[in-house]
Amino acid sequence: MPFNTTLNWGKVPNVEFDLEEEDDNPGNNNNSETCQRIVGRASCNIKKGQELFQAYGTSVADSVYRYGFAPPKLEDSDSMDGDVVSIDVTDILSIAQETKNKKGKTQCSLNSETLNVKTRRQVGSEESDNRFASTTNIPQLASRLDALKLSGALDESPWDGLDGHWTAEIARPAQPFLQSLRASSQAKNHPKRGRENGTSTMKTEDKLVYDDGGLSKLVGTFLVLLADEAAWERASLALQNFDDDHQESRSSGGSESEDGEHIEASDESRKDDITASILLSEIFNLSPEQTEALLQVALHAGAGGNDPWRALLDEIANVVAFDHSSEQQPKKRKTLQYQEEENEKDTPNTTACTLNDKTYFSRRVQLRAASEAALTALLMRREAAIEGELSCQEIIADLHENADREYNNNKHKGSEEINSAAKVGAFKTVKILRDVEKSILDQAIEMLQMTAVE
């Protein structure tokens, strides 16, 4: 202050501000003190007379909220990757209920009119037990929502005045994820990563490859909400057992994961990753070995505050495909029982394969239904953004027309012209916000369609 307040925002800033520390008396260790200061440094060569620019924030929404401006064009917001699109929990629940009613039919035809979500509003958190009673009849809904919050799939709105308002947040994905997705979409055959020996390859892969901007969290939310009562009973019991064990081990000092990462038992930051792996393990009824492997994926991919949901869903898809292919082509077992089954040529034993087929297709249906429900949520949210965008365009046109009329009539020329110009500027800012939302949604829809379960 006041130097940094004189710098305007720029799409490509040429000055960066950082907190730096320096010993004010390096020659005398006894009397030396650490000085802290904010230092602005040029990030590139700046010519004499060239304007200095800085970055004001990581999102367009935050720039509007805190500084009162937005980049003039959508292209100028590319460097601000902190924007998110909020999918309201009431919309999610409406889609989940409609998906259960449709029993597997495609959901892409659903919209805000058929689901009647325009007039639906989330009730305050003080009525958490029955706040969604009019929206859905999903069994044990309150406990499912609590688990989704604990797993990090649902977040409380970060905006002032929206305490207790829960949403699924969709952001721009990390560039490594986009590169990986595009590369895999070009390949006709997807290799089964890490399934040859029943282990995951998460140890060596870049964690950012799995940062899809929260899209997998949305799919995971629908997996939890659409799970049948038996699956949810398993998940509830497993979560309760985990919570009991967690409480007992808070003072034990923790343990170490297979890849060498130290996991503190009392570290609350890892509960969301573990909860996510438990939810998916029980919903898909994985074996103990598969459950342990999924837990290791969660611990590794979620380390450092990263989002493990994409890695978990990838692992689930691999498990489903591997189990089915293994049963279709079983390896010969050198046991007496296997030899006897081989000798019974007239009455082949096909029960195991038939049961596995049922499990395989059931799991595939679960994944497909959750993906289609997530796609419906994105399409509905995009529809709302387009409606808002069209409204802004109409209002801006009316304001321009009124401003021209006032100017030509020369009545209250000064104040009225200024007010009209301010209104036009305000609605242009809102339009930029809508454009950012739509671009995030378009990218998420494209990603979900590329990774859809067939």
pLDDT along the chain (454 residues), means of 10: 81 89 70 81 94 88 86 82 91 92 54 39 42 71 94 88 88 88 64 37 62 95 95 95 78 50 54 95 94 93 91 90 59 40 43 56 89 95 84 73 65 58 78 89 92 66
Query: Within this chain, do residues 104 and 196 fall inside the same structural domain, yes or no?
Result: yes
Query: Within this chain, do residues 215 and 104 fall inside the same structural domain, yes or no?
Result: yes
Query: Within this chain, do residues 68 and 92 fall inside the same structural domain, yes or no?
Result: no
Tell which of 59, 77, 95 closes a domain. Answer: 77
Query: Within this chain, do residues 89 and 73 fall inside the same structural domain, yes or no?
Result: no
CA dist 322 and 339 (Å) reads 25
Examine residue 2 and say whether the peptide bond preceding it is cis (omega within 30 degrees of 0).
yes
Number of domains in the chain: 2
| Residue 201 pLDDT | 42
CA dist 395 and 423 (Å) reads 9
Query: Within this chain, do residues 160 and 267 fall inside the same structural domain, yes or no?
Result: yes
Q: pTM for the complete prediction?
A: 0.76
Q: Does residue 416 lie within any of the structural domains?
A: no
| CB-count exposure of residue 89 (10 Å: 0-12, 13-18, 19+) | buried
Q: Which domain range does residue 29 map to?
A: 3-77
Q: Does residue 150 lie within any of the structural domains?
A: yes
| Residue 78 pLDDT | 76
| Residue 122 pLDDT | 40
Q: Does residue 341 lie within any of the structural domains?
A: no
CA dist 413 and 71 (Å) reads 29
| Residue 323 pLDDT | 62
Query: Within this chain, do residues 176 and 55 fall inside the same structural domain, yes or no?
Result: no
| Of 107, 101, 103, 56, the residue nearest 82 (C-alpha) | 56
User: Can you tell me which residue has the tokens 């529809």?
Assistant: 383
Q: Does residue 66 lie within any of the structural domains?
A: yes
Which residue type occupies 340?
A: E
Tell which of 77, 112, 132 closes a domain. Answer: 77
Query: Within this chain, do residues 171 and 119 fall inside the same structural domain, yes or no?
Result: yes
Q: Does residue 24 lie within any of the structural domains?
A: yes
Query: Within this chain, do residues 63 and 181 fall inside the same structural domain, yes or no?
Result: no
| Residue 410 pLDDT | 58
Q: Does residue 339 lie within any of the structural domains?
A: no
Tell which of 35, 59, 77 closes a domain. Answer: 77
